[in-house]
Amino acid sequence: MIEIVTKTRKWGNSVGVLLGKSFKPNTKVRILVSEEKISKAGDVFGTLRLKTPTSKLMKEIDEELGV
């Protein structure tokens, strides 16, 4: 079994995927589609929960930078 990660591409009025040259015409393939969701920074901003307060983290960063 070979696993390939590829992007869909416009193909006429349809959408298709390209397979590597190791696949010959008329080769039977089974395709499992798993749509990957790409998150934007604004969607995930503020979702990270830390045990340490932000003010303490900022103070540590300032100390490391000598500010």
Q: How does pLDDT run across 35-47, given as a tens digit for each residue?
A: 777 777 777 777 7
Cβ atoms of 17 and 2 closer than 8 Å:
no
Residue of 14, 16, 19, 15 whose CA lies nearest to 4: 19
Report the pLDDT value the prediction gives residue 10, as an integer from 0 to 100. 92
Please tell me which residue, 65 or 39, carries the higher pLDDT value.
65
**pTM for this entry:** 0.39
51, amino acid identity = K
Q: Say what the pLDDT of residue 14 is.
A: 94
Q: Is 8 helix (H, G, I), strand (E, B) or coil?
A: coil
CA atoms of 14 and 2, how far apart (whole Å): 25
Whole-number mean pLDDT of the chain? Answer: 84
